[in-house]
């Protein structure tokens, strides 16, 4: 192991990061299982593709509604206990989906599946706003975009693993045992985090004075994102009226139409439109999220370097202004590709381009919201998930009517609108409110 890697491994903040990487990985794995299991659920449970779209919509609705409340909840309770609570709720929601057909049928079953997806969405709503607050407390500001990008890699690794693993397990065991067995690792992560995790560096007995100095002099006093932090309605109102916060939410909403299109629907697109088999489609469906993982990591590093070179205003703007128009063009290229394997490759490049921007969005949210990072990032991600709320029924309807091309064309418009919003975003510090 090199000296640099040895130093990183010895720092508590990187162990804390590893837990948040794991929570992000499992969150996306839990979210995406139903998009793969849908291929078997529809004929076995008598569900239509439109109903699968409503199940995905139920998750996104709960997820979007609980973003900002989840961030505020995390600021008041602290990240240590928040992750335990929401992790256990997400586990219960995940196992409820394969268990529900044992107790319900027909309309009652569909309602039970909807309720499970809403609960999963609500429980996961706090994960990324609270993660942003943890990063604010545990890392210096010049590493925020980097750790956000690296955590997003974890999300996409989880998404990439979902399709081949669940498809293989479904082929061997059936969709219900596959989902049950796949849910169990979450309990191990929750237990380990409850034992080792802390809200701030000063609360952790293993953090040395040297590491506190590395994290930054801003942590000589208790950080803003600490247990029982007071968050008033007046503070929340001031945050949501801030121009930068509003435009970040709007731009993130537009970008996330494309994100949800690529993350939720590629597996069915490859099977239905490109005529791949279940197993081949499962393996090929890993390409876009793996490219997205790479893009997120590269984007996090690049955003940090751009901020150092050009300052926060243009450092945060540049990647979204370049990447999102490129994404718009790649969507059109993918849907018009005659060769299905070329289409998969272009979709992978497209998703990589989308995720290049994650470090910019989340790093900008943290920079604007210093001290109120969980609330600000919760608001921004509420906007992001409105992109899913808007997009999922559109894609479900169009795909059910074999209009996949139109669903992708709509995505080009949203990607371009997301880029334009960045011209109005002027990220500096909280004093600019």
- Split at pLDDT 50, 70, 90, the class of 278 is low
- Split at pLDDT 50, 70, 90, the class of 13 is very high
**Can you give the pLDDT at residue 225?**
39
Specify which of 110-119, 137-146, 150-159, 303-312 reaches the highest per-range mean pLDDT. Answer: 110-119
Give the torsion through C-alpha atoms of 234, 240, 241, 243, to 10 deg: 140
Q: Which residue has the tokens 């804390």?
A: 16
- Split at pLDDT 50, 70, 90, the class of 168 is confident
- % the chain with pLDDT above 90: 29
Is residue 299 within 8 Å of residue 361, measured between CB atoms? Answer: no
What's the token pair of residue 197? 């995790």
Closest CA to 109 of 118, 120, 119, 98: 98
**Can you give the pLDDT at residue 18?**
93
Q: Which residue has the tokens 């969507």?
A: 331
Residues in the chain, total: 433
- What tens digit of pLDDT does each residue of 403-427 get? 888 888 998 999 999 999 999 998 8
Angle at Cα 260 formed by Cα 152 and Cα 280, nearest 5°? 90
**Can you give the pLDDT at residue 48?**
83
125 burial (CB, 10 Å; 0-12 / 13-18 / 19+) is buried
Per the structure, the complete domain to which residue 348 belongs is given by: 3-432
Lowest mean pLDDT among 45-59, 122-136, 303-317, 419-433: 419-433
All residues at 6 or more sequence positions from 331 whose CB lies less than 8 Å from its CB, including other chains: 258, 350, 408, 409, 411, 412, 415
Is residue 320 within 8 Å of residue 418, measured between CB atoms? Answer: yes
Is residue 81 within 8 Å of residue 125, measured between CB atoms? Answer: no
CATH of the domain at 405: 1.20.1250.20
- Split at pLDDT 50, 70, 90, the class of 217 is very low
Q: Which residue has the tokens 């669903």?
A: 407
**Can you give the pLDDT at residue 347?**
87
Rounded CA separation 415/320 (Å):
10
- pLDDT above 70 (res 108): yes
- pLDDT above 80 (res 268): no
Lowest mean pLDDT among 129-138, 139-148, 212-221, 249-258: 212-221
Give the total number of structural domains in the chain: 1
Rounded CA separation 91/107 (Å):
24
Mean predicted lDDT score pLDDT of the chain: 83
Would you call 125 helix, strand, or coil by DSSP?
A: coil
- Split at pLDDT 50, 70, 90, the class of 231 is low
Angle at Cα 231 formed by Cα 372 and Cα 60, nearest 5°? 70
């Amino acid at each position: 192991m090199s000296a640099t890697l040895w130093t990183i491994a010895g720092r508590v903040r990187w162990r804390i990061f590893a837990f948040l990487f794991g929570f992000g990985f499992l969150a996306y794995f839990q979210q995406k299982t139903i998009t793969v299991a849908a291929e078997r659920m529809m004929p076995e449970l008598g569900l239509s593709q439109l109903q699968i779209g409503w199940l995905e919509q139920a998750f996104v609705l709960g997820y979007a509604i609980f973003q900002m409340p989840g961030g505020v909840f995390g600021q008041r309770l602290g990240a240590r206990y928040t992750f335990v609570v929401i992790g256990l709720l997400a586990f219960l929601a995940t196992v409820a989906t394969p268990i529900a057909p044992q107790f319900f049928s027909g309309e009652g079953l569909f309602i039970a599946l909807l309720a499970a997806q809403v609960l999963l969405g609500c429980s996961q709503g706090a994960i990324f706003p609270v993660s942003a607050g943890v990063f604010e407390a545990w890392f210096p500001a010049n590493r925020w975009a980097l750790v956000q990008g690296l955590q997003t890699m974890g999300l996409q690794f989880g998404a990439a693993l979902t399709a081949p693993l669940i498809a293989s397990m479904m082929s061997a065991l059936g969709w219900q045992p596959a989902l049950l067995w796949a849910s169990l690792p979450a309990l191990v992560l929750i237990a380990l985090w409850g034992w080792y995790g802390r809200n701030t560096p000063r609360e952790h007995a293993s953090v040395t004075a040297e590491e506190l100095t590395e994290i930054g002099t801003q942590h000589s006093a208790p950080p803003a994102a600490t247990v029982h932090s007071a968050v008033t309605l007046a503070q929340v109102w001031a945050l949501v009226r801030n121009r930068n916060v509003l435009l970040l939410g709007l731009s993130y909403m537009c970008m996330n139409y494309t994100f949800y299109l690529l993350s939720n629907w590629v597996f069915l697109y490859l099977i239905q439109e490109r005529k791949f088999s279940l197993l081949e489609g499962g393996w090929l469906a890993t390409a876009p999220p793996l490219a997205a993982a790479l893009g997120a990591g590269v984007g996090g590093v690049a955003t940090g370097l751009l901020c150092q070179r050009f300052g926060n205003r243009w450092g945060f703007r540049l990647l979204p202004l370049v990447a999102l128009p490129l994404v718009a063009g790649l969507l059109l290229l993918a849907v018009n590709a005659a060769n299905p394997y070329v289409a998969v490759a272009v979709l992978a490049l497209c998703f990589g381009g989308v995720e290049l921007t994650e470090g910019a969005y989340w790093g900008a949210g943290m920079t604007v919201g210093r001290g109120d990072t969980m609330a600000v990032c919760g608001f921004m991600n509420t906007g992001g998930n409105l992109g899913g709320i808007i997009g999922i029924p559109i894609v479900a309807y169009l795909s059910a009517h074999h209009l996949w091309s139109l669903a992708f064309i709509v995505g080009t418009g949203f990607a371009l609108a997301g880029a334009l919003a960045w011209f109005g975003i002027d990220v500096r510090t909280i004093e600019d409110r």
